[in-house]
Structure 1
């Protein structure tokens, strides 16, 4: 059977290319919770439990993971606003398989960040209740597709959102419901949208916001070749966000085409030293601004797998934090994720 062509804005995962870079895991006993990954089965791109566990089982001590909304396994029928129940059912089923222990010690999808259309405003409430019934105690947060830019060269979602979602009254009304359900809000936004994230966070101080992918510093399209300028703009906006105690940040997600690092263009994948050097201004900048108690490392796999391997990525994170205190590293690699997503950090099996 012929392989389906690769589809969508994500970089293609090339196992043969990734195999050209091998590293032994550094500090393999350091506990990790990976708080951001996806699972899906799309034309030319399949990443399911077996694939995730092959990555998490590659040498680092990954105790648990958090599944994040990715439009996977949506129901084919029924009202549009209810179709994302299929994704929550899917992630919860994967979590149940993993919780059996049959597939090893890592508890995949121990937390779930699902999708309820917050643009529905107050009408999102009944849907949030249904998702909680489907996922039970595993539902920890909600994420909508919100990363938007006017340039057609800036694209990271298979179906881009309409502009202005983060500032709309409906979205704010829907987001305001989340604390009552014990849920946080994950937000994927580019650095050009961080003022909108700031306004939302200020308006909803009781809501825990989790900013994805270091706040989305862009390096492609109109931002190619402007890394120093973007870094200054990004840091200024992130500093204002860091003043709000209800905002946390995921450190990672920098391997996408929109970030413009171009790792995928190399004859061999980057090593952990190269990644650490490239990511340092953003990751260390986030830690400086927000503190380890509001930062958590993430893989963003399989999206970032088009640029580097799982073992190499976590090695880079360990290199970046090698000089930090043990308590700070515990927070960054597992503690912050465990607290915000309310996950146990049990002993390795």
Structure 2
């Protein structure tokens, strides 16, 4: 039987010898991330699929580097040395007056496709990734528009209570493709939080320039099963449709909670009744389209 082909639109490759990922150089508090507090290189990643899944493309998403240009330069060298089609979503601050100049430098590298700037804020400070409301700053919208003017995309990582704000910004930057990360990160796991999440997904999906990446589900459900993630996958697909969504592994981060083949088997099981075209889109073709990855 032929292996299922995957273009994986959310991975992280980090080489600690670059010294741009100090947060991965030692285990965090309690040692919970010990399994990934080490270099994770393309050779290891390509072994994850075994003889069951054929990886035919991938997107490295910025891993909070201290030097964004060095990260892109390093990944360009990785891409040049390997046959796997590999592109990068780099790091950058949309609110910076130097953002256009930063894009100029990223664009020196052919694999560069766009920017991710994490905007997650939460009433519980321990769940916040940033210390200020980035989307509330006027320059953030200008940064989004600048990406669109250059044919670049924006990877959006946020929480459900921020989705309405993000949708309003997307409407004001219609030429910028915005890619929702990790199925919207349903963090508040109670009934009202679920209702907010469902409504937020549909508010985002109402903007035609937003697409969804279904990934990273283990980050908020450490003991996940196919059945525990099924509602999130199906809600995302119902909101965006199979033509505007894609599956991703979020490896090696989700390696903390499962293994690569189990993740992709779960996705395959959940959409087992989809058409061949829909499945090909979710597992391979949509990622190629949205991130402009050569076949």
Q: TM-score scaled to structure 1, two decimals?
A: 0.75
Question: 1:1-35 deviations in whole A, cap 9, x for unaligned?
Answer: xxxxxxxxxxxxxxxxxxxxxxxxxx752221000
Mapped contact 1:167–1:200 kept (Cα < 8 A):
no
Which residue of the partner structure matches residue 254 of structure 1? Answer: 217
Which residue of the partner structure matches residue 43 of structure 1? Answer: 25
State which drifts further: 331-340 or 41-50: 41-50
Mapped contact 1:166–1:172 kept (Cα < 8 A):
yes
What's the CA shift for 1:98? 1.4
Mapped contact 2:5–2:283 kept (Cα < 8 A):
yes
Structural mapping, 1:68-83, within 5 Å: 68-72=61-65, 74=66, 83=67
Which residue of the partner structure matches residue 129 of structure 1? Answer: 104
Aligned residue for 1:324, secondary structure, equals coil
The one of 127, 133, 157 equivalent to 1:154 is 127
Which residue of the partner structure matches residue 181 of structure 2? Answer: 212
Distance 1:167 1:338 in 2: 32
- Superposed CA RMSD: 1.7
Mapped contact 1:71–1:87 kept (Cα < 8 A):
no
The one of 270, 277, 286 equivalent to 1:327 is 277
Mapped contact 2:179–2:211 kept (Cα < 8 A):
yes
Mapped contact 1:337–1:343 kept (Cα < 8 A):
yes
**Would you say how many aligned residue pairs link Structure 1 and Structure 2?**
276
Distance 1:310 1:39 in 2: 15
Q: Structure 1 unaligned runs (5+)? A: 1-26, 75-82, 100-106, 264-269
Question: 1:40-96 deviations in whole A, cap 9, x for unaligned?
Answer: 232231212222122144530110100001124x4xxxxxxxx31111111111111
Distance 1:150 1:43 in 2: 29
Structural mapping, 1:192-271, within 5 Å: 192-218=161-187, 223=188, 226-256=189-219, 259=220, 261-263=221-223
The one of 57, 76, 86 equivalent to 1:92 is 76
Distance 1:189 1:56 in 2: 29
Q: Which has the larger radius of gyration?
A: 1
Runs of 4+ in 1 over 4 A off after TM superposition: none
Q: Structure 2 unaligned runs (5+)? A: 17-23, 27-36
Distance 1:70 1:262 in 2: 20
Aligned residue for 1:129, secondary structure, equals helix
Mapped contact 1:31–1:61 kept (Cα < 8 A):
yes
State which drifts further: 46-55 or 183-192: 46-55
What's the CA shift for 1:339? 0.5
Mapped contact 1:296–1:337 kept (Cα < 8 A):
yes
Mapped contact 2:5–2:56 kept (Cα < 8 A):
yes
- Are 2:243 and 1:309 aligned? no
Which residue of the partner structure matches residue 17 of structure 1? Answer: none
Distance 1:145 1:58 in 2: 34
Question: 1:227-267 deviations in whole A, cap 9, x for unaligned?
Answer: 333221100111111111100000121111xx2x231xxxx
Distance 2:94 2:114 in 1: 12
Aligned residue for 1:153, secondary structure, equals helix
Mapped contact 2:3–2:51 kept (Cα < 8 A):
no
Q: 1:58 to 1:255 in 2, by over 3 A?
A: farther
Which residue of the partner structure matches residue 103 of structure 1? Answer: none
Distance 2:245 2:217 in 1: 15
Distance 1:331 1:307 in 2: 26
